């Protein structure tokens, strides 16, 4: 009679075979679901440097690195929430205290002069069957508006300075236009978005008027001990 294989080993072998048979997308989703989770009280933060000078950005104890070319913000990094956070741009800290909320996402906006602003990024209304669109108005002194270009419907309106709005949308390709008061930014074409994607749009001050930029949201993987 052959020796029996322990149940745990049979399950592990079965899972290994199953993982090999999965498509890359499903395998990636399984990895995400079963990856170690950050401890309770963690905060997820990213930085926008309104000076846009390409200076290296350091968040907490992470090594300084420039914001990737073509992006407006760093990726979300995992730090301790509810406690002062060290941020430097080009080796210099911005004015003001930075205390990100625990168990929440935040975008830290560093102006060319003046204190940093922490904007809470709500996550209510998430729908993995749709794409998530988030809009920030970072232009001082005016209300921001985002619409589909060429007379299309309004997506967000009356967004105050240093505020954000979000909504779930069907995955589409579209050209978007933004205004700060009566000043219009050049239109921006959304990249192809699929269900579950998160995309941020930033209305920012520019040398000759407001500028609309965009990027996909990304959070660094947690590499600490399992929670």
Q: Which of 198, 187, 136, 183 is nearest to 164 (CA)?
A: 136
- C-alpha 163/C-alpha 185 separation (Å) is 18
Tens place of pLDDT for every residue, the chain, 227 residues? 444 444 444 444 444 444 445 555 555 554 555 567 899 999 999 999 999 999 999 999 999 999 999 999 999 999 999 999 999 999 999 999 999 999 999 999 999 889 999 999 998 877 889 999 999 999 999 999 999 999 999 999 999 999 999 999 998 889 999 999 999 999 999 999 999 999 999 999 999 999 999 999 999 999 876 54
DSSP of 51-69, one letter per residue?
A: T-----EEETTSPPBPPPT
For domain 127-217, give the fold: Immunoglobulin-like (2.60.40)
Joined together, the tokens standing for residue 112 give 């060319």
d(CA 222, CA 169): 28
Written as six digits, the tokens of 29 are 């989703």
């Amino acid at each position: 009679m052959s020796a029996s294989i322990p149940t745990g080993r049979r399950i592990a072998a079965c899972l290994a075979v199953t993982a090999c048979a999965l498509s890359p997308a499903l395998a990636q989703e399984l990895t995400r679901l079963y990856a170690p989770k950050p401890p309770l009280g963690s905060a997820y933060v990213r930085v926008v440097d309104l000076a846009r000078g390409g200076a290296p950005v350091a968040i907490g104890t992470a090594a300084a690195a420039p914001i990737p070319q073509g992006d407006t913000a760093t990726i979300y990094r995992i730090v301790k929430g509810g406690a002062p956070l060290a941020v430097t741009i080009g080796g210099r800290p911005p004015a003001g205290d930075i205390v990100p909320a625990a168990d929440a996402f935040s975008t830290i906006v560093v102006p060319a002069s003046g204190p940093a602003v922490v904007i809470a990024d709500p996550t209510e209304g998430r729908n993995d069957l749709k794409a998530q669109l988030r809009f920030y108005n970072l232009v001082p002194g005016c209300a921001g508006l985002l619409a589909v270009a060429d007379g299309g419907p309004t997506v967000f309106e009356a967004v105050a300075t240093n505020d954000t709005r979000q909504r779930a949308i069907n995955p589409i390709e579209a050209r978007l236009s933004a205004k700060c008061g009566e000043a219009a930014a050049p239109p921006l074409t959304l990249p192809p978005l699929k269900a579950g994607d998160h995309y941020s749009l930033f209305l920012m001050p520019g040398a000759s008027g407001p500028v609309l930029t965009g990027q996909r949201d990304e959070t660094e993987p947690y590499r600490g001990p399992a929670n």
